[in-house]
Structure 1
């Protein structure tokens, strides 16, 4: 079984709880609003990294970060982008099984027909009363399941 650590909306804050959660991941996917290039280096030191640019990822460091990306793990293909509102699901390749996104800071794992939609929430600064969270995808051959984990208890 392969484990993909998924996070989004870190906004330059890579919490120790997020690093501990990602430890042991076979791959990492970041759904955008990364915050800085140093974070990319830290995440890439843990596992192979797939990232997409969020609306707050600006400046020279972010110029090479794509707006969308795909990753094939085992028999499962993932598509990542930051803002789900920019997704044209009809244009996705037929073999995409998981859509990873961020932007809203609201964690969600929901199967819609053949697609699993996964927003890990925000692993960075707390926003309003939303949780500080991340997610994992567990891939076994062509089967995949998602778990969302609250990294810090709510006050």
Structure 2
């Protein structure tokens, strides 16, 4: 399983609760799209996850920025993820970012709004913020391979499903 998070915005820890915490602990890969804010939050995620692959966001401390890239490509369960905190140009900019990295899924954050957008050749996934939704629903995502697809859900930390996700892999 792949668990996807963003926008923790914590000075103390990972802020994970309920099903979000369980997903982080049981996932083979955890992707985080930035804005841990503090080294304490980043380290807390590392303690909960076997494999954490993250980028930094605009609100991250200098120490977090030194440890994490602005963007990265993650290979997991046969899929290719292009990960960034934010990208100029909205959905078009994110889709171009994904295409330029031959990605199946673009993971981004910044808006704190959990969303899934399917384009012709890449799925744009923003898990929202599990900790500080800022007027949106709190969220995180889980994906699992099912044949030549990734299937999963955009969920609230209590496990309530916000939206289902299906990604047809091109490899």
Give the TM bin, normalised by the shorter chain: 0.7 to 0.9
> TM-score scaled by structure 2?
0.77
Q: Aligned residue for 2:52?
A: 49
- Gaps of at least 5 residues in structure 1 are none
Q: How does 1:6-155 map to 2 (within 5 A)?
A: 6-12=4-10, 14-17=15-18, 18-45=20-47, 46-85=49-88, 87=93, 89=96, 92-94=100-102, 96-128=103-135, 130-140=136-146, 142-152=148-158
Does the CA contact (< 8 Å) of 1:84 and 1:102 recur in 2? no
Query: Whole-Å Cα distance in 1 between the matches of residues 133 and 67 of structure 2?
Result: 27
Taking CA–CA contacts closer than 8 Å with sequence separation of 6 or more, which of the two structures ends up with the larger relative contact order? Answer: 1
Does the CA contact (< 8 Å) of 2:112 and 2:129 recur in 1? yes
Does the CA contact (< 8 Å) of 2:8 and 2:41 recur in 1? no
> TM-score scaled by structure 1?
0.84
Stretch deviating more after TM superposition (98-107 or 56-65): 56-65
Query: Whole-Å Cα distance in 2 between the matches of residues 16 and 35 of structure 1?
Result: 18
Q: Structure 1 residues 59, 69: closer, same or farther in 2, change over 3 A?
A: same
**Alpha carbon RMSD of aligned pairs, Å?**
2.1
Query: Whole-Å Cα distance in 2 between the matches of residues 52 and 121 of structure 1?
Result: 15
Q: Structure 1 residues 136, 7: closer, same or farther in 2, change over 3 A?
A: same
Query: Whole-Å Cα distance in 1 between the matches of residues 68 and 147 of structure 2?
Result: 29
Q: Shift of residue 61 of structure 1?
A: 3.3
Q: Which structure features the higher share of helix residues?
A: 2
Q: Shift of residue 107 of structure 1?
A: 0.6
Does the CA contact (< 8 Å) of 1:76 and 1:141 recur in 2? no
Q: Shift of residue 33 of structure 1?
A: 0.7
Q: Which structure features the higher share of strand residues?
A: 1
Q: Aligned residue for 2:163?
A: none
